[in-house]
Structure 1
Amino acid sequence: MKTIAFLYLGVAFSMVLIFVSLLLPLPQKTTETAGIPKTLAISTQPPELKVILTGDVMLGRTVETKSAEEGDYAYPFRRVGERLRDSDIVFINLENPIIEDCPPHADGFKFCASPKMLEGLVFSGVDIVNLANNHSGNYGQNGIEETQNHLRRKGIAATGLGELVILKREGTRFGFLGLDLTTRNLSDNDIELIRRSNTKVDVLILGVHWGVEYTQTPTDIQRTWAREIIQAGADVIAGHHPHWVQISEIIDGKPVYYSLGNFVFDQMWSEETKKGLLIQQIYEDKTLVKEKKSPIYMASWAQPHFIE
């Protein structure tokens, strides 16, 4: 009987403890400001987005011949591709059509390259090319359309044919346009296209083919056009065509790179045409917050490397 009595007493005591514990407040966890536990705190820092701009890229002539000799059609990009891939967007000026029946050629100014040469762009993570230049039409409209088709199959976008291309990264809309001003003036239609495009994107980047080849200084008309382009709504101008690196300047807070020189080309006959400038821009919260300029040099046939 004593055993049973003790058993009842133990059960009753346990029930009292449970009842009392329910009445007591729960212990408070250590928290950060705003009442968020440290382990659950969410960073409000906007992501960094990297955009890379390069000089002229021409994949034909001796560039393709050298790549074929090496047995590696990504050969021109082997020493720079890793840095390009470590970015969110890579934008280049493609200075030649991509066509199946590209005849072998070591000289001349009718450029083309075979689709095999796109391996280098894929290896380097190129996202978009500008076709607004004085060589994209070397094989006529059919050549332009074939180029677009080959690029599309590789997942590479193309601008410069009168249309805005938008690439979205982490909620930021980057817009790309291309203009070829080597044989004509900046027009009212160009300005209107820039204005319309500005309303559709957060950042508007223009690839502009202009200026005088093999010179170090932009012309007065280029600087006038640059101001008009920026005032119409462009956020960045990446210039090409001179094949020499030229000055850059800030207009209304926006960077203008008048010429980024060469990036991949077979113009090995002068020191200046072996040089180029790679621009890495960093964006946070849809705003350009910093940039890095990296000089490049082609010591070997059409294979650039960084000279930092």
Structure 2
Amino acid sequence: MPTLALLGDVMLGRGVAAALRHLRPQQMWGDVLPHLLDADLRIANLECALTRHARPWTRSWKPYHFRAAPAAVRFLQAARIDACTLANNHVLDFGAPGLRDTLAALDAAGIRHAGAGRDLEAASAPAFVDLPGAGRVALIACTDNQPDFAATAHAPGTHYLPAIPDAATLAHVARTIEQARAAGADWVVFSNHRGANFVERPEPDARRFARRVIELGADVYHGHSAHLCQGIEIHRGRPILYDTGDFIDDYAVDPVLRNDRSCLFKVRFADGRLQRIELIPVTLRLARVALAHGEDFDAIAERMTRLCAEFGTPLVRGVHALHWEASA
């Protein structure tokens, strides 16, 4: 498998939607764009609805509702995003009509999606991307956020799954991965929007769950939701990215935790083995992402080196990035 680029939350609504009216699609990605384009596969968590439907979700109280016009999909196309995870707590912010519009916009743009759909079968189904020379990649997406967004056998919604290592949950994960393999997947990426906001470390149950996902056959665990990058663990030769943070947003910045400091994560396999993980530090501004420099780079490097070391994953600092390399 060539290089896989994994992004955290991409939120195109609210203040971002207003800013995008004055930007060309490539401008949103700034000098990070070449690092995205030189990957072979790009996956992002789309943290909003793409819809003009104006009536927000009303079945339960929500403080924030995020949407962008369907035409905003061209900003995803500019970075050649191949697939989006939709299992999160904002994809139904404008109800079933907003979800249907989102699915239609992504389909029209040729962007695969997983984690939400017209019913539970569709929401839990993997998305497939074929990579010439590297095989078929399956993306499975689920969330433990917003249980009232959950799809049912007869209603649209998300692939809701508590991220706990109990027997029923793990049996569901095993079936989903087995179905992906049976459909021809050579590689399985398990993407999970889970946990509380603004925490630097996954809780013990989350660690046990992620390890079991790898043991059940996933090749990559791609976490997001905390708005902060968390550490990386290598389990049975496979990467667990506990949280990939934010990537595009208009969020208020915590002055201590600095959710405006994040990373682009790039994972490379060779001959079936995990070869390299590269972390490219980035800084976030309204509707823009940029390569981190100076104090920002130093702070991100220090935090990620420390958090990864807690999982026994040593990072080597370079001029523009951090990396982990498999031993020979």
Decide: shared fold, TM above 0.5: yes
| Correspondent of 1:283 among 253, 260, 269 | 269
Match of 2:91 in 1: 136
Looking at structure 2, the residues matched to 165 and 81 of structure 1 have their Cα atoms a distance apart, in angstroms, of 24
| CA-based RMSD | 2.1
How much has 1:262 moved relative to structure 2? 0.6
Larger mean Cα displacement after TM superposition, 57-66 or 164-173: 164-173
How much has 1:268 moved relative to structure 2? 3.6
Looking at structure 1, the residues matched to 129 and 25 of structure 2 have their Cα atoms a distance apart, in angstroms, of 27
Q: Does the aligned pair in 1 maintain the 2:14–2:67 contact within 8 Å?
A: yes
Match of 1:173 in 2: 136
Looking at structure 2, the residues matched to 285 and 148 of structure 1 have their Cα atoms a distance apart, in angstroms, of 35
| Correspondent of 1:185 among 154, 162, 165 | 162
Looking at structure 2, the residues matched to 98 and 88 of structure 1 have their Cα atoms a distance apart, in angstroms, of 25
How much has 1:73 moved relative to structure 2? 4.9
Looking at structure 2, the residues matched to 218 and 169 of structure 1 have their Cα atoms a distance apart, in angstroms, of 32
Match of 1:115 in 2: 70
Would you say how many aligned residue pairs link Structure 1 and Structure 2? 257
Q: Deviations over 1:25-76 (max 9, x none)?
A: xxxxxxxxxxxxxxxxxxxxxxx722100111100011111222x2435542
Looking at structure 2, the residues matched to 202 and 288 of structure 1 have their Cα atoms a distance apart, in angstroms, of 14
TM-score norm. by structure 1 comes to 0.77
Q: Does the aligned pair in 2 maintain the 1:81–1:125 contact within 8 Å?
A: no
Per the alignment, in what secondary structure is the counterpart of residue 273 of structure 1? coil
Looking at structure 1, the residues matched to 142 and 242 of structure 2 have their Cα atoms a distance apart, in angstroms, of 13
Per the alignment, in what secondary structure is the counterpart of residue 167 of structure 1? strand
Per the alignment, in what secondary structure is the counterpart of residue 218 of structure 2? coil
How much has 1:100 moved relative to structure 2? 2.5
Q: Does the aligned pair in 2 maintain the 1:202–1:286 contact within 8 Å?
A: no
Q: Does the aligned pair in 1 maintain the 2:144–2:162 contact within 8 Å?
A: yes
Looking at structure 2, the residues matched to 116 and 79 of structure 1 have their Cα atoms a distance apart, in angstroms, of 23
1:76 matched to 2:31: no
How much has 1:141 moved relative to structure 2? 2.3
Looking at structure 2, the residues matched to 91 and 162 of structure 1 have their Cα atoms a distance apart, in angstroms, of 17
1:175 partner letter: A
Match of 2:245 in 1: 261
Match of 1:297 in 2: 283
How much has 1:245 moved relative to structure 2? 1.0
Q: Does the aligned pair in 2 maintain the 1:63–1:76 contact within 8 Å?
A: no
Looking at structure 1, the residues matched to 53 and 31 of structure 2 have their Cα atoms a distance apart, in angstroms, of 29
Match runs of 1:214-229 below 5 Å = 214-229=198-213
2:49 partner letter: P
Looking at structure 1, the residues matched to 55 and 100 of structure 2 have their Cα atoms a distance apart, in angstroms, of 18
Moved over 6 A (4+): none
2:100 partner letter: E
Rg larger in structure? 1
Match runs of 1:144-159 below 5 Å = 144-159=99-114
How much has 1:108 moved relative to structure 2? 4.6
Looking at structure 1, the residues matched to 54 and 282 of structure 2 have their Cα atoms a distance apart, in angstroms, of 28
Per the alignment, in what secondary structure is the counterpart of residue 239 of structure 1? strand
Q: Does the aligned pair in 2 maintain the 1:67–1:75 contact within 8 Å?
A: no
How much has 1:146 moved relative to structure 2? 1.3
How much has 1:285 moved relative to structure 2? 3.6
Per the alignment, in what secondary structure is the counterpart of residue 147 of structure 1? helix
Q: Does the aligned pair in 1 maintain the 2:26–2:33 contact within 8 Å?
A: no
1:195 partner letter: E
Match of 1:234 in 2: 218
**Percent of aligned pairs sharing the same letter:** 26
Q: Does the aligned pair in 1 maintain the 2:12–2:72 contact within 8 Å?
A: yes
Match of 2:82 in 1: 127
Looking at structure 1, the residues matched to 272 and 102 of structure 2 have their Cα atoms a distance apart, in angstroms, of 31
Q: Deviations over 1:94-149 (max 9, x none)?
A: 01110034589xx9511111122212111111110000111112122222221111
Looking at structure 2, the residues matched to 248 and 80 of structure 1 have their Cα atoms a distance apart, in angstroms, of 21
Q: Which runs of 5+ in 2 are unaligned?
A: 57-61, 116-122, 148-160, 164-168, 293-319, 321-328
Looking at structure 2, the residues matched to 85 and 102 of structure 1 have their Cα atoms a distance apart, in angstroms, of 34
Q: Does the aligned pair in 2 maintain the 1:74–1:119 contact within 8 Å?
A: no
Looking at structure 2, the residues matched to 267 and 278 of structure 1 have their Cα atoms a distance apart, in angstroms, of 18
Q: 1:103 to 1:113 in 2, by over 3 A?
A: farther
